[in-house]
Structure 1
Amino acid sequence: MKSIYQLALGESFHKLHPEMQKKFGLISKQKIMILGQGRMTEIRGTPAFLRPLLMAFVPAHVMFAERGRNIPFTLENYAYEDEQGREKVSWIRRFFFPYAIRGFDAVMHYNSETGKIVDDLGKSGTFQTELDLEVTPEGGLLMQSNAISYKGKYDLSGIHTSVYEHFDEDQEAFRVHVHVEHPWFGTLLMYEGLVHTEFLPMTYSNIPERGILV
């Protein structure tokens, strides 16, 4: 059985760094979860006058207004089958600001018709985008999209997202960089940092509803 990322990348999957292959090769039959812990060296983006508007997205775990440096961070990945038998992988991100804990969550699956990864954003998957995957020369993975839809109906074209990750052998950890950009407002959200990862045993009772922690 191949992971959703191996299906999307095809033979290019084997060009990933071995640790990247291990992480992005996660499938439900392994019955393990991935726990990442680290710090984001910087979280920035969105003009200050617009940040209060982002508070409306906080309950959905899509966006948040807080910004800062050296922010503690956790990431949980679960691979599971949904009620339709589709293989899915959840991305449960938590940012521990001094006075608030914020989430930026997603659930991904492979679309066999387009050959792309579908990224359902937030706790309820209200926002959706398709990701193009590319293996970089150093064995990292770049995932990009150029449009986000709202409830699958309203196309929010122009919003560009990129997620880049590679394995730092010196630190024995993953370096991550996420960038969400709007053509009018510039960077809406950017964060980057170093994440140490563990692979832990799990049962299906460990998986939160929709793969997302409430």
Structure 2
Amino acid sequence: MSARGEVFLTALGAEAERLHPEILAQLRAPAAAETAEGVFAVAGSRFGRLGALALPVVGPRMLVTRHARDVPFILRTRPGRTEDGRATLDTIREFRFPGATQFITDRLTESVVPGLVRNVLGARGRVELIEECSVTDRGALRMRTKRVALRLWGRRFALRGILGISVDLEDGWDETHRRRTIDMRARNPLFGTVLEYRGWYRHLEETDEPNIA
């Protein structure tokens, strides 16, 4: 039977055993669509509405144009498979900023290279990240960008140097509150941090509904 986190388990291989037991158990659960809710202590882009200037290039559901603290969010994931049988994981992140709700979507795909996953961002899939998966000393899942590319007009353009983006994400476990933690920063060599979010979340039971106002 497929697992919800098969994309990560395949990339990590034997190293998956070093994950915190709660995270490992959730990744090994039977494949099914899942919803989680939580709060970001801080989330968004400090560039605000200037980020909208990139939308014609990267497409919708790729960027957020607000930055705030204590931002409620909903996380929806759905595992699947490509036509050639590789595991995928589709994610929708719903940021409930004051006065506006914004979204970021992506699809992770199992890579043919051990340790790596392919991440295609946005509704049009124009931004592609190749990310390395590892486990931290505290048992958190870590993902770091190895390569980034822009897909336009049927071509793939590698983004390097000042055009590049470096994403560093840690998905951990809070023993005190019994919940997952998340910390993500996307940086550009010229502009610094262009997107960030950090906070906590919990997976909902099948009978639960998101109740964050």
Fold conserved between structures, TM > 0.5 = yes
Structure 2 CA distance for partners of 1:15 and 1:103, relative to 1, 3 Å: same
Count the aligned residue pairs: 198
Alignment-derived partner of residue 197 in structure 1: 203
Deviations 1:159-192 (A, max 9, x none): 1001111011111111101110000000001110
Cα distance change of structure 1 residues 199 and 128 upon mapping to structure 2, 3 Å threshold: farther
Find the residue that maps to 1:60 and give its secondary structure.
coil
C-alpha offsets along residues 5-43 of structure 1, whole Å, 9 cap, x if unaligned?
1111111101101121123335xxx34222110111112
1:91-146 CA-partner distances (Å, limit 9, x unpaired): 11100112211111111011114541001111232111111111011110110004
Equivalent position of 1:164 in the other structure: 170
- 2:6 matches 1:7: no
Provide TM-score, normalisation by structure 1.
Answer: 0.83
1:40–1:13 Cα change, 3 Å: same
Displacement after TM superposition at 1:47 (Å): 4.0
Q: Which has the higher contact order (CA 8 A, sep 6+)?
A: 1
SS in 1 for 2:85: coil
**Aligned counterpart, 2:108:** 108
Pair 149,180 (structure 1): closer, same or farther in 2 beyond 3 Å: same
| CA gap 1:94/1:107 in 2 versus in 1, 3 angstroms | same
Q: Is the 2:108–2:117 contact (alpha carbons within 8 Å) kept by the matching residues of 1?
A: yes
Over 6 Å off, 4+ runs: none
Superposition map of 1:133-152 within 5 A: 133-151=133-151
Flag the 1:58–1:7 CA change in 2: closer, same or farther, 3 A.
closer
TM-score normalised to structure 2 length: 0.83
Residue identity in the other structure for 1:141? L
Look up the SS of the partner of 1:104 in the other structure: strand
Distance 1:199 1:84, change over 3 A: farther
Q: Is the 8 A contact 2:12 2:114 kept in 1?
A: no
In structure 2, C-alpha distance between the alignment counterparts of 1:200 and 1:88, rounded to whole Å: 21
